[in-house]
Amino acid sequence: MEYLDNLGQKAVAAKYELQKLSATDKNRALQAAASALTAATDRILSANDMDYETAAAGGMTAALLDRLKLTPERIESMAEGLRQIVELEDPAGTVMESFDRPNGLHIDKVRVPMGVIGIIYEARPNVTADAFGLCFKTGNAVILKGGKDAAHSNAAIVEVIREALSLEAVTADAVQLIEDNDRVVTTAFMRLKQYVDVLIPRGGAGLIRAVVENSTVPVIETGTGNCHIFVDEDADLEQAVPIIINAKTQRIGVCNACESLLIHEKIADRLLPVLGRALQEKKVEMRGDARVQELIPEAVAATEEDYGREYLDYIISMKTVSDVEEAIAHINRYNTRHSDAILTQNMEHAERFLQGVDSACVYVNVSTRFTDGFEFGFGAEIGISTQKLHARGPMGLKELTTYKYLIRGDGQIRG
């Protein structure tokens, strides 16, 4: 596919250019891109209007329309996002390890940019500027494939950034947008292995699955979260209710929200009536086992399928268990390796849970909502990895780099 081949070649050329830029050069370019976005507010808004009108006329849901919609404040916040990235340290170039071998070889393990990063995402134009900023700061060229419902918005944003880069004498091909929205092109992009070093899908479970199924480029899976909270028999019940309410309802559509609750059978009768009222107040539909339904009149029966669901909605599944081992086994069976929490004052149970649960983030006495690059202090986030290769959990700048070994000698040959 000539169109993609061309894009790929330009990205590769750009990646070598970017690797030569100093931190100062990159920061100046990021600042320039930020200012350019603010200055181009009207241009971006009118592009966004076109997308919005088409989407609204096509019956897009209110929640998705809200994600698509840009305002002067939202454009300013994109610009501000780029300025925040300026403040972060570029991890590329760091010597991670150095060692000398008996034969005199000196080996440095040095952090370097990935090279070319592909990002596939849905109709959220703010991801466009954000993904560019994170990739650029770490010296990576990026190829973006945004949702077609945001096509005009993305094109405008990328155009503005590319112009700003050119004015700073930086290669505009640091960021490229795939403007052909044919599915065939998107699938071919997932197989652009000769040019793209890593592909990061950002979006819902369907998007992630499509990328994993079709890609030959290495993929970092992100963001599906069937997160659990297990309330142990020794939990502080005063603490438990606010944590559960926070994890379930503070922001409903995010991957680190709690979707499923396990309750030790010994404290079910003390916790569930109170918790049931609190969840009821927040209009959360409860789906539980027989014991849960006994103790919470509003609860309906949970099916097997419920325990595997990421609702992203005002629904929660609930189940009583007889001990921490049963809780761990249930979680490892149904979770998405994202974030799971135990609430307990029993430190031995806490340790068993921390060790036994196979998730990127395992919490003791904390809401699962903290799985987030900013909350972890990374200062940025490109996504939450739910796989085990390369990066797990919140990914910041460091996770957009790889390493290489530099080996210096004076004539060594292998015997």
Residues lying near a second copy in the complex (CB under 8 A) are found at 16, 19-20, 99, 101, 105, 107, 114-115, 193, 197-198, 212-213, 216, 218-221, 236, 239, 242-243, 246-247, 250, 332, 350, 354-356, 358-367, 369-370, 375-377, 387-390, 392-393, 402-414
d(CA 231, CA 260) in angstroms, rounded, equals: 11
Our CB check for a second copy shows the closer of 318 and 391 to be 391
- 130 versus 340: smaller Cβ distance to a second copy: 340
Q: Which residue lies nearer to a second copy by CB, 107 or 274?
A: 107
Per DSSP, 369 falls in state G
Structure tokens at 249: 């309802």
Question: Among residues 283 and 414, whose Cβ is nearest to a second copy?
Answer: 414
Tokens at 262, concatenated: 């396990």
Nearer to a second copy, 272 or 341 (CB): 341
User: Is the Cβ of residue 153 or residue 386 nearer to a second copy in the bound state?
Assistant: 386
187/402 with CB nearer a second copy: 402
Pairing of strands 106-113, 95-100: antiparallel
Shortest separation between residue 148's beta carbon and a second copy, angstroms = 25
C-alpha 50 chain-centroid distance: 28
Transcribe 244-280 into DSSP letters: HHHHHHSSTTSTTSEEEEEEEGGGHHHHHHHHHHHHH
DSSP conformational letter for 219: B
* Short-list 147, 156, 158, CA closest to 64: 147
Determine the residue type at 348: E
Encoded tokens for 78 = 């994109």
Residues paired with 356 in a beta bridge: none
Q: How far is CA 156 from CA 56, 64, 119, 150, 160, in A?
A: 20, 20, 17, 10, 6
Nearest to 329 by CA among 225, 228, 224: 228
Q: What is the largest CA-CA distance in the chain?
A: 79
In contact, 149 and 70? CB cutoff 8 Å: no
Token output for 402:
């790889």
Q: Closest distance between a second copy and the C-beta of residue 160, in Å?
A: 30
Q: Distance between CA 317 and CA 326 in Å, rounded?
A: 16
